[in-house]
Every structure is written in structure tokens, then in C-alpha cells.
């Protein structure tokens, strides 16, 4: 296969190490011969590869513990939900009988709504019907009311309507999506206004002009590498079915890498596609170093944000305390704590179900549950019993 050279002439004042070290470490310059700019370039390559490894490790950690959490907690959650459902129906039947004061009836109805509502929010239609039969306002109406109140609050902060023609949102999910879209639009408009206003007021400095040129050079380098790949890997030009499949897969990776502006991934694909070898990659010209350094800086910023996002999503998914360190040990502790809590809840519900047929216990239990519910009330806690 004909090899295509990279868009950089072989005139670097300090050529990178060409020894075969795997991956794209051939891009790195020899430590003994590097300039500050080249050392910075080497650091960015290391940082990029380190961030990629950390993201993969965090994703693998989440995947493995997702299985552990599901295997351990799902059966317990199913058992607890069955008991909750049983208690809700028992209370419903008890309300049809005599012997309860108006206050105790109100407390029992409130408990039915709490028990059935938690299951209804998970998609249990029979529990939703039970909830709505005892509630002053149906779950659907509650959702609309909450969305309307939140919409008024957010519109007051943003200073403009979220939808068109006084649009009202059916639920909080739709409202939050519209809110995020509106905030992003406002931020983009503000940035554009600042950029256009600043450009009109002052001329660009030499540093700004240099940065702009580096950005253009970086875009050009990225585009040239991608075009080389697209030309060599176009599957429609391949007659061999096996090779066509290989090129289709590589082209898909190239498209994704180009879209996320991943320089190292594109160069790695060139190696995989036999378009270049490590010696050709290491012929990067010194004058192009600034442009590619800009690309790596941009990629490090994106990966840093992605790592933070993956870690925060994992922390939220497994119910870890906010800003808790994400590690096998912290996830193991969390699994153990959740298991103990569910087992305790199951034991408590089993005991209550066994005791509530005793009317004296039942009435005392109702009062205790009512007091406990309001003693522990938290305006930010939308779940729980």
C-alpha cells in the first residue's frame, strides 16, 4: 500500500525519538534534546493518555459495580416493594372499616399516598390509581403544578419566557430540558455580544494574532490528516469484502476522532491503516509544534471535563455522598450500607405488617408514623416513605 506522508516536512530542529515504544510515544521528543516547547508537548501527550486511561478506568469501575449493585440490591428492592404494596392495600381495606377517627383516617390516607406514590413514580399503574383514589390531587396534577411553579421561578431568574405563547410544561423533565436550552442560548448570545463588541472596540494584539494563526494551523493540520484517512479508507473503493469491513470500521473511528478533534486518535489510525510509520510521524516540523500543541491543550481540556462528568455521574448513580472519592473501596462501602438499609427496612415492614391487625397497635403506629414523617421532613427530599 502506498504510504502518504504527514503534512509536515522533515526539517525539525530536534526530531522526536523514533524507537518503537508502542502507541504514539514516537511523537515525543528525546528528553535530552528538548526545548521548553517540546517538553510541554511531551507533557501534553502524557496528560492526554493519562486522562484517557482514567476515563476508561472510571467507566470500567462503574460497569463492574453496576452488576454487583444490581445482583445484590435488586432482589431486596423487589422484596421491599412487595411489602410496601401489601401495606398500601391493607391500609386501603382498613379505611373501609369502622373504628378510626377522622384524624386517623386522614393519616392513613396520607400514608397510602406516600407508599403508593413511591411505586407509582416507578411506573406501577395500580399504585398510581390507588394513590389518586386517596389524594386530593392526582400525581399527574401534582406534576403539572410542580412544573408550573418551577417554570415561574426559572423564568423570573432568566428574565424571559421558556416557551412560546405562554407554553406550560407537563412535567419537570421537559421543563428542565427547556431551561438548560434557554440558559445555553443566553450564554452563547452573551459570548457573541462580548466577542463582537470587543473586536469593534480594539485591535488584536500580536499575541492574539499569533493564537488565531495557531488555531488556523491546528485546524488545517487536523483536516489534512483526516482527509488522508478518508481518501485511503473509503470503503466504496475497496472490492475485497473483508478489507471493506476493516476500512469501514476504521473510517467510522476516524469520523468520530475528527469530530472530537482528537489528534492522537487520528495519528494512531494512520498507523493502523499502514498509511505512515513511526519514523514518518516523528518527522514533525518544529514550526508546526505550536499548532499541534494547541490541539493537545484543547483535547486535555475536553478530557478533563469528560473525566469529571463520568466520575460525578457514577457518584450520583450509586448514591455516594457528593464529592466523595470514587474508588472500589467507596463503592464497596456504599453497597454494604445500602444492603443493610434495605434489610432493615424489610425487617421493619415485615414486623409492622404482622402487628397492624391489632387495632391498638395500629392506631398507635399511625400516630407514630405521622409524627416521624413530619419530624424528619426535608423540603429537598421528594422520595421516601
Q: pLDDT for 12-42, tens place per residue? A: 334 344 333 345 555 666 666 777 878 888 8
Residue 211: what pLDDT? 64
How long a stretch of residues is the chain?
A: 385
Longest dimension (CA), the chain: 96
First-residue to last-residue Cα distance in the chain: 68
Query: Residue 34, Cβ neighbours under 10 Å: how many?
Result: 16
Give me the residue label for grid cell 429537598: 380
Question: Rounded distance, CA 136 to CA 302, Å?
Answer: 49
Q: How far apart are alpha carbons 277 and 26 in whole angstroms?
A: 10
The domain locations on the chain are 25-323+335-375
Q: Cell 509544534, residue?
A: 289
Quote the pLDDT of residue 308: 92
Residue appearing with cell numbers 403508593? 116
CA distance 353 to 94: 12
Give the span between the Cα atoms of 369 and 87, in whole angstroms: 13
- The predicted pLDDT at position 82 comes to 96
Q: What's the pLDDT score for residue 101?
A: 93
Mean pLDDT in the chain?
Answer: 79
User: What confidence score (pLDDT) does residue 379 get?
Assistant: 41
Residue ranges in the chain whose pLDDT is less than 70:
1-32, 163-166, 170-172, 194-204, 206-214, 274-288, 374-385
Which is nearest to 54 in space by CA: 326, 288, 345? Answer: 326
Q: Which of 164, 271, 253, 263 is nearest to 217 (CA)?
A: 263
Q: What is the pLDDT of residue 278?
A: 57
The pLDDT of residue 189 is 78
- What is the CA 209 to chain-centroid distance, rounded? 36
* pLDDT for the residue numbered 342: 96
Per-residue model confidence (pLDDT) at position 22: 41
Q: What is the pLDDT of residue 94?
A: 95
* Cβ(131)–Cβ(92) below 8 Å: no
pLDDT for 276 equals 60
Residues 334 and 340: their CA atoms lie apart, in Å, by: 10
Burial of residue 13 (CB within 10 Å: 0-12, 13-18, 19+) is: exposed
Q: What is the pTM of this model?
A: 0.63
30 and 285 in contact (C-beta within 8 Å)? Answer: no
330, three cell numbers: 467507596
**Dist. CA 143–CA 171, nearest whole Å:** 5
CA distances from 221 to 179, 218, 257 (A): 38, 5, 14
| Helix/strand number for the chain, H first, E second | 12, 0
Amino acid at each position: 500500500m502506498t504510504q502518504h506522508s504527514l503534512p509536515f516536512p522533515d526539517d525539525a530542529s530536534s526530531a522526536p525519538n523514533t524507537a518503537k515504544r508502542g502507541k504514539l510515544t514516537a511523537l515525543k521528543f528525546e528528553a535530552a534534546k528538548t526545548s521548553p516547547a517540546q517538553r510541554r508537548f511531551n507533557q501534553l501527550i502524557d496528560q492526554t493518555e493519562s486522562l484517557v486511561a482514567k476515563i476508561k478506568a472510571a467507566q470500567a469501575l462503574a460497569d463492574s459495580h453496576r452488576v454487583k449493585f444490581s445482583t445484590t440490591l435488586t432482589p431486596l428492592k423487589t422484596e421491599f416493594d412487595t411489602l410496601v404494596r401489601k401495606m398500601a392495600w391493607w391500609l386501603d381495606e382498613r379505611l373501609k372499616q369502622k373504628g378510626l377517627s377522622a384524624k386517623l383516617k386522614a393519616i392513613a390516607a396520607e400514608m397510602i399516598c406516600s407508599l403508593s406514590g413511591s411505586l407509582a413514580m416507578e411506573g406501577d399503574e395500580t399504585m398510581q390509581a390507588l394513590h389518586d383514589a386517596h389524594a386530593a390531587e392526582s400525581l399527574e396534577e401534582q406534576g403539572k403544578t410542580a412544573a408550573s411553579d418551577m417554570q415561574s421561578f426559572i423564568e423570573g431568574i432568566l428574565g424571559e419566557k421558556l416557551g412560546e405563547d405562554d407554553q406550560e410544561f407537563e412535567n419537570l423533565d421537559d421543563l428542565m430540558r427547556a431551561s438548560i436550552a434557554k440558559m445555553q442560548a443566553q450564554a452563547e448570545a452573551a459570548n457573541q455580544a462580548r466577542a463582537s463588541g470587543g473586536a469593534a472596540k480594539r485591535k488584536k494584539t500580536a499575541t492574539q494574532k499569533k493564537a488565531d494563526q495557531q488555531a488556523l494551523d491546528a485546524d488545517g493540520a487536523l483536516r489534512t490528516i483526516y482527509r488522508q484517512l478518508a481518501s485511503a479508507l473509503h470503503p466504496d473503493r475497496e472490492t475485497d469484502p473483508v478489507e471493506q469491513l476493516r476500512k469501514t470500521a476504521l473510517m467510522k473511528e476516524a469520523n468520530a476522532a475528527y469530530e472530537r478533534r482528537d489528534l492522537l486518535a487520528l495519528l494512531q489510525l494512520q498507523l493502523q491503516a499502514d498509511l505512515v510509520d513511526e519514523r514518518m510521524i516523528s518527522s514533525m516540523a518544529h514550526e508546526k509544534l505550536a499548532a499541534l500543541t494547541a490541539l493537545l491543550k484543547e483535547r486535555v481540556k475536553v478530557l478533563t471535563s469528560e473525566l469529571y462528568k463520568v466520575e460525578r455521574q457514577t457518584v450520583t448513580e450509586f448514591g455516594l455522598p457528593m464529592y466523595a472519592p470514587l474508588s472500589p473501596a467507596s463503592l464497596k462501602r456504599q453497597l454494604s450500607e445500602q444492603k443493610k438499609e434495605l434489610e432493615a427496612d424489610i425487617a421493619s415492614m415485615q414486623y409492622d405488617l404482622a402487628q397492624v391487625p391489632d387495632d391498638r397497635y395500629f392506631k398507635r403506629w399511625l400516630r407514630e408514623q405521622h409524627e416521624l414523617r413530619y419530624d424528619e421532613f426535608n423540603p429537598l427530599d421528594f422520595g421516601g416513605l
